[in-house]
Amino acid sequence: MVHFLTEPVVRLIEGWVARGRALDAAWDDDGVRRVMRFGKRTRIWAVVPCVAFGTACIAAAVAEIVGIPLSFWTRVAYVLFMFPIFLVSAWHAVAVCSTTVVLSETGVVIRSGFGGSKSLEWSRVFSVKFSPVWSDFLIESVDGNRLRIPHQMDGLRTLCDFLLARLSPPTIDPSVPIALARLI
């Protein structure tokens, strides 16, 4: 029952986020490389759950501090559900706000606030696939290294241009152009 009530709202929000996505990646400060980031609407959509769960956790803590005791099961729910969900949503929000993909003539670099940076040269790319499970583009090198580029990032048209200009057609899985055409 809840699914039927929330599905239209989620669809509306996801549509709003998708309409705010820029097709072209921004130039870096030097004007040499292209930089893909999550757009403003995607970052907002990542921060909202974090704020909601954080507010609920703070409200419970304030209630306990001012002398309004919570029941045992409410405390258990906050400790085992609300607070862990807040931590996961905070982790996700920081990752969305700090992740960038840098596209250059020589390769691609993914920089994340938590994971450091991973790079891959275009000459070492073995395959490019679209993963419908994770909804991202998977770039794999000949030595097995993988880079995942989320489909929610700004600059998908620029990514498409880089892939087509620097890789041979057998390297690109047929799912990639289909996904790019659907997303762009």
Collapsing DSSP states into helix, strand and coil, what is residue 20?
Answer: coil
pLDDT tens column, 71-106 = 999 999 999 999 999 999 999 999 999 999 999 999
The model carries a pTM of 0.81
Distances (CA, A) of 157 to 46, 72, 78, 148, 170: 23, 53, 43, 16, 20
pLDDT tens column, 146-169 = 999 998 899 988 998 898 888 888
Comparing CA positions, the residue from 101, 147, 100, 102 lying closest to residue 124 is 147
In contact, 33 and 103? CB cutoff 8 Å: yes
